[in-house]
Structure 1
């Protein structure tokens, strides 16, 4: 059977930039973007046009930030999508390439962040599993100093974004993708976890705060009900815009009451 034609809407670099301005994106600001290309419609130029539209809306004085996480640089014993045979685990641990911010591809965050990662002039933070990439005049201050034993806490780009007055753009993405909620997890008492990953000198195990995005959709629903969130569409994508600081402060209060039980967190590696 022939492939059916796209149903649209037809989206271009210019209509993306226009939609972002209508939503409230301001030239010169710093924007943390979580995105879904497929939600936008039929984009002429694909993910490249989306990044161009974001940069057009921000202008030369603005800074674009995206998550470029590498969830695949982790212990194969915990893989489930898909799992691998147990007899492979030791070989995988021994041969998995260590993180290199210049070449390690992002994993599980979509094609738009991966496009930003490889964009001319983009900078990337140092954490092997939860890095961020940034383009713009504030990029260095945001990505530098990301501690390799602090995924999404005070020594991560999230805390820098909060201090800079950055905003979050959910571009067709839901609150389950909202990484700044994790910064709140670091600020309330919670369990620790031990995570295995490839390091510069072989396999290493690092202790960090245990985090989970379970109930982030519910948290986001309550946040949007109680706090100002700009709502609109960019192309066909339902989009949201709000300050990082507002989201983190609300999440600290919400998680203190609704935080998942300890059994819901990842268990420490052996």
Structure 2
């Protein structure tokens, strides 16, 4: 528990909404202990949110391409034909780390409905914040991110950097002009039932650079198990990213 003691002093709002991106690999921290500590700091009226993404449910994501990289074409076709559909209640999120999967399977957790970029939440505002995630909107106005912005949520990067700060994606949707659109593919409804939809061509390649320019006065940080834990407001992150993208993506 000593490794988690610093979380109580970061400034997490009691009764607030907290979005956590995390990596517990290389530590002795158990995901259940971290979950419980965060819920304790938030208090009974607080809500804990994690990304529960499933990039494996795709034909173009890095996660999917790595799976099929050494397969001959025939095996790739067979593999895709047997791909199970996304099911919010049962589909795991292995690439999101131990804490995200722990929150997802906790009794009472609520998960949003997007087949590739869902979120999971625990707490009194979970259902409200996860509702209405449109299957053709990854991380824009019809996703939990927009409601988390309205809820004045905080973001905790627990032993990870700004490169995985999902909030920055909402800034892409709010950019003028927005990024171009592209097709995405996923399985929904039945095994091997691949569908295609369009959404923004999301790009996280400059998120580390955007995070590096985040005003230091808007951050609090502490050491947790040998790496930084950084806390900041989601609204501030989105607004900063939107301004910065206008400058660096010309």
Q: Do the two structures share a fold, i.e. TM-score over 0.5? A: yes
Whole-Å Cα distance in 2 between the matches of residues 170 and 86 of structure 1?
Answer: 39
Per the alignment, do residues 246 and 125 of structure 1 end up closer, same or farther by CA in structure 2, a change over 3 Å counting? same
Whole-Å Cα distance in 2 between the matches of residues 123 and 254 of structure 1?
Answer: 33
The residue that corresponds to 1:265 in the other structure is none
Q: Output aligned runs, 1:159-238, within 5 Å.
A: 159-188=146-175, 189-200=178-189, 202-225=193-216, 227-238=217-228
- Root-mean-square deviation (CA, aligned residues, Å) is 1.8
Whole-Å Cα distance in 2 between the matches of residues 107 and 86 of structure 1?
Answer: 25
**How far did 1:91 drift?**
2.3
Secondary structure at the counterpart of residue 128 of structure 1: coil
TM-score, normalised on structure 1?
0.85
TM-score, normalised on structure 2?
0.91
Query: After the TM superposition, which segments of 4 or more aligned residues of structure 1 sit over 3 Å from their partners?
Result: 76-80
Asked whether the equivalents of residues 55 and 61 of structure 2 are also in contact (C-alpha less than 8 Å), the reply is: no
The residue that corresponds to 2:28 in the other structure is 42
Whole-Å Cα distance in 2 between the matches of residues 224 and 239 of structure 1?
Answer: 16
**How far did 1:56 drift?**
0.9
Kindly indicate whether residue 104 of structure 2 is the aligned counterpart of residue 147 of structure 1: no
Larger Rg: 1
Asked whether the equivalents of residues 19 and 235 of structure 1 are also in contact (C-alpha less than 8 Å), the reply is: no
Q: Output aligned runs, 1:62-73, within 5 Å.
A: 62-73=46-57
The number of residue pairs the alignment matches comes to 243
The residue that corresponds to 1:114 in the other structure is 101
Kindly indicate whether residue 240 of structure 2 is the aligned counterpart of residue 250 of structure 1: yes
Unaligned residue ranges in structure 2 (runs of 5+): none
Whole-Å Cα distance in 1 between the matches of residues 240 and 18 of structure 2?
Answer: 19
Unaligned residue ranges in structure 1 (runs of 5+): 1-11, 262-270
Whole-Å Cα distance in 1 between the matches of residues 28 and 211 of structure 2?
Answer: 28
**How far did 1:256 drift?**
1.4
Secondary structure at the counterpart of residue 134 of structure 2: coil
Kindly indicate whether residue 69 of structure 2 is the aligned counterpart of residue 80 of structure 1: no
Q: Output aligned runs, 1:20-59, within 5 Å.
A: 20-38=7-25, 41-43=27-29, 46-59=30-43
Whole-Å Cα distance in 1 between the matches of residues 134 and 169 of structure 2?
Answer: 15
Whole-Å Cα distance in 2 between the matches of residues 113 and 91 of structure 1?
Answer: 30
Whole-Å Cα distance in 2 between the matches of residues 99 and 85 of structure 1?
Answer: 25
1:70-121 CA-to-partner distances (Å, cap 9, x unmatched) read: 0100016964324243323332332211100111000311111000000111
**How far did 1:161 drift?**
0.4
Aligned match for 1:156, one of 132, 143, 147: 143
Secondary structure at the counterpart of residue 223 of structure 2: strand
Whole-Å Cα distance in 2 between the matches of residues 80 and 204 of structure 1?
Answer: 18
